[in-house]
Copies of this chain bind each other. A is one copy, B any other.
Amino acid sequence: MNSWFANISVNLKLGLGFGLVLVLTALLALTGWTSLGSLIQRSNWMSDITRLNSDLTNLRVARLQYMLANGDDATANNVQVKLNEFNQQQQHLLKTFKSPENLKLLNEQAQIIAAYQVTLDRMRATYKASAAARTDLETTAAAAMQLIDNITRDVLGQGEGDGARLEQFRAASAAKEQLLQVRFEVRGYIADNTTQSEQTALRQLDNALDYARQLAQSLPNEAARIQQFQAAVTSYRDALNRYKGAVADIAAARAEMTQQGYDIVSRSEALYKIQLERRDAESTEARSLQLIATLLALLVGIAAALIITRQITRPLRETMAVVERI
């Protein structure tokens, strides 16, 4: 090697030496530049995930506020708005992320969001059904109250003896009392949807219905209105069963949405973890590359300087020796 290198001109030697060092310097610069760029890109992706998480938080908070507001429809709209915002950011991420690992998580997440939307729609429908059932409870109870009040009034006003009136009034009052007790227990069930309060309300309602069925025996003249009263109480029971069904459906929807929420969060966390791992891997790699390029540039530079100096000064010294001899 030294022989061909010795034979090329000084110009070329210096050009080669500096050129090599400068190429390495340029490579070093390129490494720094691209690794900075990929780190910024990675950090942007991480910020996008952070933004996604923040949208998800808004959604989860809105959903719980909706439940706290007992299915109020304005609050429901707010949940939908937050879900749309979250969905939009998720779609944005689906477009900006590239690697299959990330996309797999994002696609899974998109599917869970779609399922979340379905459950939310169901929850809204169920809350409406629950509100309708509650209105029916009020209407049917009011009808039953009106009937029993009329019966009681007419029993008091009729011409029979005080003894018979007292017995009939007792019977009618007891029916009204039963009904009031039912409504009281049903409201207790509405206030706290526990199995115990549900059972108490249903048992009380069964007692009231049993009593209403026997009422005609004590009040033979009121058979027709008593039948209407029984029908009203039966409608009340139907409304209560609808309400009970709605409560169960809301609880099921809530459990589903809670699970979906966790599943969405776990995908986001996995996604963020991948970015952190890749950021660490990329920056370690960038550090190694920078270190190697720097050392290489320094070594090549020093070697080039030494070799070229020797290549130039040796023939000069030899020439000088010849000149001296002359």
Contact = CB atoms under 8 A, between A and B. Distances in A.
Contacts of A165: 162, 166
A251 to B, nearest CB: 11
A64 interface: yes
A102 interface: no
In order of increasing CB-CB distance, the 6 nearest A-B pairs are: A32-B32, A162-B162, A187-B187, A64-B64, A29-B294, A191-B191
Nearest to A286: B36
A98 to B, nearest CB: 19
A163 to B, nearest CB: 5
Given A18-B17, A53-B54, A169-B170, A287 B25 contact: no
Interface in A145-195: 156, 161-163, 165-166, 169-170, 173, 176-177, 180-181, 183-184, 187-188, 190-192
Contact of A57 (B57, B286, B313): B57
A24 B25 contact: yes
Contacts of A11: 309, 313
Contacts of A279: 40, 43
Contact of A50 (B21, B24, B53, B161): B53
A276 interface: yes
A25 B301 contact: yes
A304 interface: yes
Interface stretch (A65-73, A82-90, A121-129, A225-233): A65-73
A259 interface: no
Contacts of A272: 50
Nearest to A173: B173
A223 interface: no
Given A17-B18, A36-B290, 13 more contacts: A10-B309, A10-B316, A25-B298, A32-B36, A36-B286, A46-B47, A47-B276, A53-B57, A64-B65, A162-B163, A169-B173, A177-B177, A187-B190
A208 interface: no
Nearest to A11: B309
